[in-house]
Structures are given as structure tokens and as C-alpha cells.
Structure 1
Amino acid sequence: MNEVAIKKKLRRIRAGGAPRVLDLFAGCGGLSLGFQASGARIEAAVESDPDAARSHGLNFHKGDPRHSSARDITDTTPQALCDELGMGNPAAAFDIIVGGPPCQAFARVGRSKLREVADHPEAFRHDPRARLYIEYLDYVEACHPLAVVLENVPDMLNHGGHNIAEEICEVLASRGYVCGYTLLNSAFYGVPQMRERMFLIALHETLGEDVSFPLPTHRINLPTGYGSSRLVALKHLEALAVRNGKAHFLTPPAAQGALPMAVSARQAIGDLPRIDARALLASGELKRCARRFDQPVPYNQPKRPNAYVKAMRNWPGLATPAAISDHVIRYLPRDYALFARLKPGDQYPEAFRMAERMLDEALKQLAAEGKPIRRNSAAWEKLRASIVPPYDPTKFPNKWRKMEPDLPARTLMAHLGKDSYSHIHYDSDQARTISVREAARLQSFPDGFRFCGTMNPAFRQIGNAVPPLLAKAVAQSVMAALQPARVPTPAQLAFAGV
């Protein structure tokens, strides 16, 4: 480890210099935005998806082509990156490295698909994406950062019997870092979404600081599924810590004192313009075509915007005018009437039963009009296909969900890029899935943050991202270690109440 480079960086920061961040597997920039909001400077990013790379370059480097190009970390060395960006020696260019290697390789949801592809019961072990954290560590070795932050799904803690987070900590500890990792749920940090993720922080020993994670700012009783999966993970990890005194797992920080309730879906998106899908469909305004972001729509103007709405509209450096231009939805004509009849919290089995009921109603209406249709006839099959979704309700119980207005949303996934049925709007009058901007709001992206590409790539970028407000909370813990006596700027103080 280059001690000279480390000490030089530390002197610069403690003399008032802004920490310089390199974001690996950056996506559109959720982690970057959180660190920027905490006073860091986003120097560079590596992202292989072209649309996400363009989004990152647009939002953090004003669209500079050098910063908007897609790069594959497996064939972009730290020196090559610095050469392309005119940054010189990687060991001197960055103070913090952040990122999250693609989580699909660690998430249990992907393993069955990998087994099918490879016809091997342990195929997920051999998914090349599962090795990308090694490329991440190679960047740490070359760049000598003062701090490292890694984010991923909780399943990274038990990947084929391996705790990848613990293994990463062991590697980093051997390179002079003090390490710790834990589980954080974004709903505890002001994000209107229940999203459980593993966070790992490593601080160079020269800092003389221990790793700590941010205290919750909000409270919520996590529903079944989130709470039980966390308890199982904590039980496993705490047993590991008992068996091995060198384990780096830290118990998630507990709430202290009276805290406000978690931000709900209604609080997060209730001020956004109404989109009545059935009316738009009937008028012909909603058609099957690419959804672009070039039509500004005025906000609803609540008399007293809540704190979350104010933060999303007035994020420092990304404040918005009186309209938004990415409030677009999917064309799903078969399902709008079904969405209207679902209750908040209903999932696919309830939707399937309701659709079957709607089919019976339609058949009875035709019979009453003297136009009976024989069961299993071609006409019956056509009518059924126009009303009833084709998926087996026993195989896809969680494919759909109508959001509960007074709770944070459930986890937004990258699959939003293919469909949005996991997040059906709670308002039955609007009867639709969420828009791109509503998805961004539920991830805590401010309204001034722009997404490149059309609707599907934008949804995918949002679903893949780290919620910026959660990233900001983690960033503040890291910044406190780098700048123990730093004084927040007025903008940061004004933003601290989010």
C-alpha cells in the first residue's frame, strides 16, 4: 500500500479539499448522488450499460462525452481509465471508491435461471458476474483510496455457502483497512421504499477511525418477509461472530429516541400529476409507442408540500421548475380495468381471481344481450385473453402488487425495465402502474435528475440504483471519518432535515 499517497490525500482533505469519488458499477448514479450531497466530488465512474453511463455523465459531468461513455470494468484498467480522463496516476486520483457489483449473481431469485441455462445444480457459483467484486478490489489496490464503500443484496452474505462480504473484508484488512458491514433498510433513512441491502465500509488505518453506520432517521415495523429475512440473516451472522472473533459484521444501528414514521408512497408521489389511464386509452392519447421524456407536465400544487416533496423538488443543484418531463406510463390496455378493482396490497393471485370474475361478468352480460358465447370456443378464448392475464397464479404469486398508500413501497427491482406490475398505483381512479418519475421518487431520486434513453432503460436504471437518500446517510458516516471536524455548508445544513 502506498503510504505516501494515503497521507497526501488525507492532508488535502483535512485542509478543506472535497473528497474525490470513483464510482464503480455506477449505474445512473444513486451512490454518486448521495456522496455528492454530502460534500464529495464525483470524479469518475465505470458503468457498462450505455444508457446508464450517459445518465451518469449527464447528471455529474454536464454530458461530457468522456464521462458519458460505457466502460466494461473487465477490460478497463485503473490506469486506462485515468488516461482516458486525463487524471494521471490512479494512486493519486481518488480518495473514495464506491460501488456495487451486479447483484443478480448473488440474489437467490437468479439462481434457478442460471441452473436452467447451465444444467448444473451449482451453476450460480460459476456466473462470471459473481467475480466482478474481484475487479473492484483490483481498483482498490491500484487507487489506494482512504475509504471504500460496497453495496449489494443481502444474499451476498451467503453465496453458495460463502460470505462474500466477510471475504472482501479479510482482503481489505490485509491491505491496511479497518472494515465492517451490516444490513440497512432504506425505509429507516427517509426513502419511501422498503429495500434491504448489505453495506460494507472500509477505512484506511491511517485515519485512526472505526467503521460506523448511520443511525435510522425514521421508524417502521417491517412487514412479514422483510422482517423475517433480516432476522434470519442476523441470526446467521451473529452466530458467525461468536464462532470467529475476527468477523467484521456489525449489528444494524438501532433507532434512538422518537423518530417520524417512514415516508409513505402517498407522501412520496401524491403531488405528481394524475394520469387517468382508462380515460387516456379511450381518447386515443395513450398508444403503443416509445415513451419519451420531452413533454413537460405541470405539478399538482398541494397547499402544504410535505418535507419529502420539498426535498425532491429542491435538491441542491437539481432544483426543478414547475413541470416534469418523464411522467410516463406503460401501455397495458388489458389490465387498466383490473387495476381499478384491486385493493391495496393485492398481489397476483387476487388479481387473477378478480380477472376471472370480470370474465364471468362479461359472459353474463353478453348472454343477457342475446349474444351467448360457448365455453372454450374461439370467441371465448379471445374474450378471456382480453381480460385474464395468462400467468399461473401458483407460480407467480408476487408478480403483481398494488401499492399500499400509507406504507413505503416494496422493493423496486431492475425488472421494472420489463414491466411495472410489481408497483401498481394505489389510486384506483388512475388504474395504472407507476410512471418513470414515480419510480424515481420512490427511490429518492430528485425531480431534477435526468435519465437517458426511453422508458424501459429508465425504469431499469432506477430499479438497479442505490436510493440516493440511503447513499447520503452512508456517505455522511464516511465523510465524518475523513473530516472529523468539518463544518457543513449552509446547503448541507438546509438539506439535513430530509
Structure 2
Amino acid sequence: MQLALPLLGLEAGIDSAAGGQLPLARAPRVLDLFAGAGGLSQGFQQAGFEIVGASDIDPDACATYKLNFPEAEVVCDDIRLPEVHERLVKVGRGVDVVVGGPPCQAFSQVRNHSRIIDDPRNSLYREFVKMVGEIEPLAFVMENVPGMAQMGVLEQVKEDLELEGAYKVSARVLDAADFGVPQTRKRLIFVGVRSDLNAVPPLLSGSAATSYLSLVRLSKGKYAIEGRRDEQRAALLLEMLDDPDEVKVVTVDQAISDLRHLKAGRREEAMAVSEMKEAESAYQRLMRKELADKVWNVSVPRINTDTVTRLKAIPAGGNHRDLTEALTARYISGEKWGPSTNSGKLGRAHFYAYRRLHPRMWAWTLNTKADSAYHYRSPRALSVREFARLQSFPDHFVFTTDSRRGSLPGRIDGGQAHSRYRQVGNAVPPLLAEAIAQKVLPLVQATDHEEEKSHAG
């Protein structure tokens, strides 16, 4: 499968910190740990970084990563194994930046005198800290769930990452929707800069649209976008949100309206670019920018009769609360599917499934399942490509799986289709990653130029 060249220097919805920078003799290099499909790598690549290596344990995610970053050395194994750790240290020698999102399973309260880095359940987080300490990059970026900041461990993590004063570290919760991603997704971002660089870790800020605009339920079946806090600021942001030529804040419709002709049950994974609708927004043009002759991941899951009936009764932006009493019956048409319930009604698990996107708003946080969001116009689930658009992956980025069938070390059960949705749903949105990378870039470049001058002297 031939991939187009990567995107470079895309607008990320914030002012770039790299203005006026001097050209480098080489692109700064990145090692991506716990890379998944490569959302962080894609964003850093778009900002002008070279991705030299990556690691993950999931063979399907590794297959996607290898396909999209063919020049990078991908280590698909358990980073906790000594031989794997050593291999990654070798791959990472000389890189300028280490990035990653290590899973952190246990949040130990500070008052319990138990540090999270010492908890056996946080061994992957510990590996990230160790890797930074051994490779000694100029800077690092670690992302994690925002809950970490709420559990009293933020200072613990900053202290761990400072490595006894070797790094200066900043931490901030960012929402991807504030950086041109058509989806609200909060992540806690740590940025570390080596102390001997005498630089301050950058603090990021985006449009702040998520603080001023929200989708509200007025009554059963009626939804609207409302401003809050500062009326003037909210009105300006709403005007930006409605503008299809604006990329700082982006709606669902602006993200995926050109793919509205996809049908439920479509089996073909690829589609000729000539079959796509004409781009209807600046965001769609941005996503297509390096697209070649085909767009991939456009198959759409099948849908049963009961789900179609319910979705037709739910307005854009709505959910199960908009259903009539009759439509909350577990089975409507008599067609039996999925697990039944003792009550004969929809269960709690179903409530998270019957939700339709609103075209004039960004999406809520997507999870790893195809039914986490239904189309706002057609009674169908989204394709992986539409999921990817809502995550800000460019159209040339292809999601795939390991060609080997059956159980593999690190593979999560569920089949190929589920794996692709999961890979997208677990990723860091590339436009958010690019915004971070643009702030890190001038720090790395300044250091590189100082080294060049030193060698020249």
C-alpha cells in the first residue's frame, strides 16, 4: 500500500511559537514510547520532527505504525523486558525528544506516603521515567489522563520526571477541541526541558472555546449551542465555530460532511478520491492535503432494525433520554440481538450507545467502540475514517492490523474492525500533538544552533 508524504507545518489552531526560527541542518529527532497507532508521532512529524523509533506491545497498533512511519524502527514488545529496554535505549541514543503516554493504573494519594512510581501496577510509567533518564533527550512530552491531576499525585509525577533536578517540568490539562480538533478530549500534558538548557518549559493555550461554548438540552428532543461566562467572547467563538473556513474551532459537520454518502454495511475498505464529495470546509481540505488516489478505512458497520428505529427518533445531539417509552423496550421489531435484560427494557450499557452527534458542535470524547457515536444525519455508525477525522488524523494515515490471525502477545481480542476503532479511539489527536510540538521545536532548535556555533568556534 503506497502512502503519501507526511504533512508538515499544518495549522494547529494556535499561534506557532516557531516564528522566526533559523533553519536546521537536520530535523530534530523523536522517539515515541507506548506509541499506539502514532498520534503523537504524526503531530510531531507535521511540526517538522523526524520520527526515528517507537515502541508498543500491541501487534495491530505496531502494524499501523510501521505502515505510516516506514523509516522508523518499531519495537513491538514488552518494554519491561531487559533486552527490549536495552534495544530501545540504543534506538533512542541521540534523539532530541522522547514522547509517550505510558498507562498509569494506580493513583496513590500523597498522604498515603506511597509514590505512584513505586506501585507495581505503574511499571510502564516507571519505564518511561527510566528511559528519559538514560537517553537524556533535550526535552520530553508525556501525556496521561486528566484524572491524574485530580488525584493528588500531580506533584509526585512532576518530581519523578524532574529526575533530581535534571529537567524542568510543566504540566497542564489541555482539551483537544481548543486546538482545532473536532472533538473534546482532555489530556494531562507534561513537558520537560533539560535544566542545562536554561529554558522554561512552554505553557500551551488554545482557543478556550470549550470554556465558553457548550451543547445544552433545552427539553426532550431539543438541543442548542449556548455561550457562557463572557457573552462577547462566547459570541465571537460561536461565529468562528460556524465559519467553515476557520480551523481554530471545528464542528462535526465541518469534519466529516464530505463522507455523508457512506452507507451502513459498506464492506469496501478503500474508495477512490474521485468518489469523495467535494471538500466543504478548510478542515476537510487540510485532512486531504497529502491524499493520493485512494482514501482508506471507509467501511461502515452493519446496523440492525431496532437501532435504526431508535436513531430516527433521536435528534442530532440527542441520546436515549429522547426516546419514547415504547422505544426503550429491549426488542422492538421482534428481532433478537445482543444480551437480553431482565426488565425487558434497555439496560444502562445501551444508554452510552444511543447518542447522535450534533453537526454544529465538536464531538464528545470518542471511545474505542464503533457505537460510541452515531451519525447526525444518517441512522448509522461512523466509519474508521470518520473516527479518524474527528481525531484529526489526516486522510493519508491508514489504520490496519497485523496480518497474522488469532491470539498474539499484546493483541486485544475483538477482531480486525474493533482493533481499528480502538487504535483511533486510544490515540492522541495529531493536531493537539502538533500544537505541543510547535512549542517544543524552538527550544530544540536553539540548542542545536548553540552546539553548531560551539563546534564552529
Alignment TM-score, normalising by the size of structure 2: 0.73
Task: Tell me the distance in 1 between the aligned counterparts of 2:234 and 2:170.
Answer: 21
Q: Are the aligned partners of 2:270 and 2:299 in contact in 1 as well (CA < 8 Å)?
A: no
Aligned positions of 1:113-262 closer than 5 A: 129-159=121-151, 162-163=152-153, 165-173=154-162, 174-217=164-207, 219-220=209-210, 221-223=212-214, 260-261=240-241, 262=249
* Match in the other structure for 1:456: 418
1:307 aligns with 2:308: no
CA displacement, residues 79-112 of structure 1 (integer Å, 9 cap, x when unaligned) = 32355xxx4xx5x332111011126666xxxxxx
Higher RCO (CA 8 Å, separation ≥ 6 residues): 2
Q: Go from structure 1 to structure 2 and tell me whether the alpha carbon gap of 1:325 and 1:39 turns closer, same or farther (over 3 Å shift).
A: closer
Task: Tell me the distance in 2 between the aligned counterparts of 1:17 and 1:309.
Answer: 31
Task: Tell me the distance in 2 between the aligned counterparts of 1:468 and 1:408.
Answer: 16
The correspondence for 1:385, drawn from 329, 336, 341, is: 336
* Match in the other structure for 2:296: 325
Superposed CA RMSD in Å reads 3.5
* Match in the other structure for 2:259: 272
1:413 Cα offset (Å): 1.5
1:355 Cα offset (Å): 2.3
Q: Go from structure 1 to structure 2 and tell me whether the alpha carbon gap of 1:352 and 1:481 turns closer, same or farther (over 3 Å shift).
A: farther
SS at match of 2:371: coil
1:39 Cα offset (Å): 1.2
* Match in the other structure for 2:269: 293
1:28 aligns with 2:37: yes
Name the structure with the higher strand share.
2
Instruction: Name the % identity.
Output: 33
SS at match of 2:76: coil
Name the structure with the higher helix share.
1
Aligned positions of 1:72-91 closer than 5 A: 72-75=78-81, 76-82=83-89, 87=91, 90=92
Alignment TM-score, normalising by the size of structure 1: 0.67
Q: Are the aligned partners of 1:180 and 1:201 in contact in 2 as well (CA < 8 Å)?
A: yes
SS at match of 1:402: coil
Aligned positions of 1:345-360 closer than 5 A: 345-351=317-323, 353=325, 355-356=327-328
Q: Go from structure 1 to structure 2 and tell me whether the alpha carbon gap of 1:326 and 1:274 turns closer, same or farther (over 3 Å shift).
A: same
* Match in the other structure for 2:316: 344
The answer for unaligned runs of 5 or more in structure 2 is 1-21, 108-115, 217-232, 242-248, 402-415, 450-457
Q: Go from structure 1 to structure 2 and tell me whether the alpha carbon gap of 1:399 and 1:352 turns closer, same or farther (over 3 Å shift).
A: farther
Task: Tell me the distance in 2 between the aligned counterparts of 1:328 and 1:313.
Answer: 18
Q: Go from structure 1 to structure 2 and tell me whether the alpha carbon gap of 1:258 and 1:403 turns closer, same or farther (over 3 Å shift).
A: closer
* Match in the other structure for 2:437: 475
Q: Are the aligned partners of 2:77 and 2:84 in contact in 1 as well (CA < 8 Å)?
A: no
1:56 Cα offset (Å): 1.0
Q: Go from structure 1 to structure 2 and tell me whether the alpha carbon gap of 1:344 and 1:45 turns closer, same or farther (over 3 Å shift).
A: same
1:445 Cα offset (Å): 0.2
CA displacement, residues 172-191 of structure 1 (integer Å, 9 cap, x when unaligned) = 33141111101100111000
Task: Tell me the distance in 1 between the aligned counterparts of 2:84 and 2:447.
Answer: 35
1:70 aligns with 2:76: yes
The correspondence for 2:372, drawn from 401, 409, 422, is: 422
1:218 Cα offset (Å): 6.5
1:342 Cα offset (Å): 1.5
Q: How many residues align?
A: 376
Q: Are the aligned partners of 1:272 and 1:299 in contact in 2 as well (CA < 8 Å)?
A: no
